[in-house]
């Protein structure tokens, strides 16, 4: 094998390795900040229900820890719940890339400010979508 062929193969290998690292870095960066907006409305029969959440809800995972070879977050905070949503019921789902639930749906009653939800035993990298619905 000639020197130029070896050099070409090394460059190709380095380019592939850089591409893989770049894609991995982008996927981690995109999972670092997930935002939910509260501009949606529901319709029941012929009555429109106004949204109580008018600002963006920021999703912040607790600092992940390495457990059994995978990074796991013990909880997630939904920050900036509007006061108008206090006492309303919520449903919260954590979904994988295929849209399947990663853990059982979380439900409860909201308070204004921050909602903290436990994520015991969940691999942080398996969560691709956070879905929140607020209703009365």
Cα–Cα distance between 53 and 113 in angstroms, integer? Answer: 11
Cα–Cα distance between 32 and 103 in angstroms, integer? Answer: 19
* Per-residue pLDDT at 14: 56
Mean pLDDT of the chain: 76
Q: Is the per-residue pLDDT at 32 higher than 50?
A: no
Band (pLDDT 50/70/90 cuts) for residue 8 is: low
The CA-to-CA distance between both ends of the chain, in Å, stands at 72
Nearest to 135 by CA among 91, 104, 82: 91
* Per-residue pLDDT at 33: 46
Q: Could you tell me the pTM of the whole model?
A: 0.61
In sequence order, the 6+-apart residues with CB closer than 8 A to the CB of 111 are 81, 86, 87
Averaged pLDDT for residues 72-76: 88
């Amino acid at each position: 094998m000639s020197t130029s062929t070896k050099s070409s193969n090394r460059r190709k290998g380095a380019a592939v390795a850089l591409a893989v690292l770049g894609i991995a870095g982008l996927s981690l960066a995109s999972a670092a900040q997930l935002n939910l907006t509260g501009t949606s409305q529901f319709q029941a029969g012929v009555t429109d229900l106004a949204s109580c959440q008018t600002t963006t809800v920021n999703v912040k995972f607790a600092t992940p820890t390495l457990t059994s070879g995978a990074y796991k977050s013990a909880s997630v905070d939904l920050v900036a719940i509007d006061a108008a949503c206090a006492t309303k019921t919520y449903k919260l789902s954590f979904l994988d890339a295929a849209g399947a639930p990663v853990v059982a749906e979380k439900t409860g009653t909201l308070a204004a400010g921050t909602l903290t939800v436990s994520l015991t035993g969940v691999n942080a990298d398996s969560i691709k979508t956070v879905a929140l619905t607020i209703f009365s």
